Amino acid sequence: MRASFAKPYSSPEQIVQILKQRGMLMDDERKVENYLMNIGYHRLSAYIYPFYKSPKSDLQLKEGTTFEQVLVLYRFDKKLRILLFNEIEKIEVVIRSVLANIGCQEFGDKYWITKADYFANAEKFNQTLAVIEKELTSSKEDYIEDFRHNYVENYPPAWMITEVLSFGNLNYIYSNIASNKLMKGIANYFGLKPQVFTSWLTVLANLRNMCCHHARIWNRDFMLNPAEPRKTSNAWIDTSQIDKKRIFYRLCIIRYFLSSVSPKNNFNEKIVDLLARFPSIDITAMGFCRNWADEELWY
């Protein structure tokens, strides 16, 4: 049975005193109050949680815990989100183009994305078409308005449509393609099988949304469990000792995609640099294996 939410509101000043009672050390209480007002205790509480003694329910902080340590975790997570958002964007751009190009080449039809004949499930296609129509109607992109005003076709060609759809919509379209040959051709461009490709797109779309909405990711136990490739065309990792629901596995997926389309990418250097700037971060909580940098994927 559901109950009323009885927990009262606490002001930043009150929260400072609560945190002190729990054992948190602060150099400047007024400064901490400002952080609590500007960031919010609810958001910061996720970064305080790792510092509680076991059992966590006792809400007693480990000896020597400082508010600055909490801010370090918060800042690291923020920089990690920004980094990953930018790298996922690169992958998203490639997938948009590859989906449109290989589809047009396979079918010889530049309007294939808006034709039901090319898709396996009619209901899924109709849902996708409704999304496409909504995005086209609301789009203010010059190339969409130019097409709308100058051409008689109901829909623009595939390479325009893929540009106005979300990452999740692209995956929805891909997973509903009726042609096994096309599905294999697109996935094979990245050295993957269709099942793994679809799974990894779902994982990256989910991670992208978390980064976009400022969700904590550094030590999160993600709900989605990525499919494990049996064989890849490019370097992968030994996953026998890796938790697939932690962020490190997702970093490996990003590195794999980037290496597939840009072998000289420097994502590995960016990760190493970020970790070096935050030496206090417990990377085991992120799912990193002991010798991760020695894996061929991360050379």
This prediction has a pTM of: 0.94
Q: Return the HEC string of 57-105.
A: HHCCECCCCEHHHHHHHHHHHHHHHHHHHHHHHHHHHHHHHHHHHHHHH
Structure-token pair, residue 102: 């290989």
Phi and psi dihedrals of 21, rounded to 5? -65, -30
Strand pairing partners for 177? 119
With b meaning 16 or more CB within 10 Å and e meaning fewer, what string describes 208-237? bebbeeeebbbbbebeeebbebeebeebbb
Q: How far is 233 from 250, CA to CA, in rounded Å?
A: 18
Q: What is the pLDDT along the chain (299 residues), one digit of tens a residue?
A: 899 998 899 999 999 999 999 999 999 999 999 999 999 999 999 999 999 999 999 999 999 999 999 999 999 999 999 999 999 999 999 999 999 999 999 999 999 999 999 999 999 999 999 999 999 999 999 999 999 999 999 999 999 999 999 999 999 999 999 999 999 999 999 999 999 999 999 999 999 999 999 999 999 999 999 999 998 989 999 888 899 999 999 999 999 999 999 999 999 999 999 999 999 999 999 999 988 999 999 98
